[in-house]
Amino acid sequence: MTTHTTRMLILGSGPAGLSAAIYGARAGLNPIVVQGIQPGGQLTTTTDVENYPGFAEVIQGPWLMEQMQAQAEHVGTRMMYDTIVEVDVSQRPFRLIGDGGDVYEGDVLVIATGAQARWLGLESEESLKGKGVSACATCDGFFYRGKKVAVIGGGNTAVEEALYLTNHSPDVTIIHRRDSFRAEKILQERLFAHDAVNVLWNKKVERFIDGGGNAGLVGIELKDTVTGELSQIDVDGGFVAIGHHPATELFRGHVELDEDGYIVVEKGSTRTNVPGVFACGDVTDKVYRQAVTAAGTGCMAALDAERFLAEADFEKIAEAAE
């Protein structure tokens, strides 16, 4: 068992965690990033990225995360390939334990563990991810300009995704397994008033249909939840919009979470209810969930942490002088 100590300990290695690391390293805090179960975060499973500022051409998600990690390491970040299984934030330095027994101690902790989209769990869904099947209309809707698309779900996320997709597609279908939406009424009213949207009630997805070769998704096979009847629709893009799982189970009972499991931070900051513990990226964000917003809050977390340490150091000096 090895103990690794640092002034700034960061859990998570997506855009939020690596941005925090870059700013923390440049401030001389010698951060350690514990990469977690998915090094690089969700962008490592994304192919074409067209909406991250600074790149005129389409880039690949894994390449972007490789560059962020290289930048973080270049300025002095230590990357640890480990998965945390136990946390103690009851006193400083905060203490995290990896699944191999290594201990990580930090004077401040930045939580950037992200969130994962909920999927339907179909084999055909897995094989067509990035080939017509997506869980983020804001990320990928642009690639379906003028094409037929479908959204699966019935909550706020699904209705918002469908409305967003009308900016690109003249033919948007929502597939919902029940006969009414759970979404807020005002969103439903906007949806039903839109000529480009069609709703298929009482339908569940049985299979995403692969056109073979480089065709990708060409249709969706549906099953009626009342009659059991099978049907099929032709689509170019399918967007699964049934919510997200914030990766916060490890922190339940240690920091304040909201009713959906997201970490609660002070408005306009990344401070949690535990002094010295900060949270950034999708683990706090149920609205935007974009790489660029995650990176922005990662910067905020590093600046908040730096200020916290400066104040704590000043207090120690003042106490010693008394």
Tell me which residues are annotated as active site. 136, 139-140
Q: At a CB cut-off of 8 Å and minimum separation 6, what does 124 contact?
A: 207, 208, 209, 210
Q: What is the DSSP string of 228-258?
A: --EEEEE-SEEEE-S-EEES-GGGBTTB-B-
Between β-strands 133-134 and 115-117, what pairing exists: parallel, antiparallel or unpaired?
unpaired
d(CA 128, CA 138): 18
The two structure tokens encoding residue 74: 């270049």
Per DSSP, helices labelled H in the chain are 15-26, 61-74, 123-127, 137-140, 156-165, 185-192, 291-321
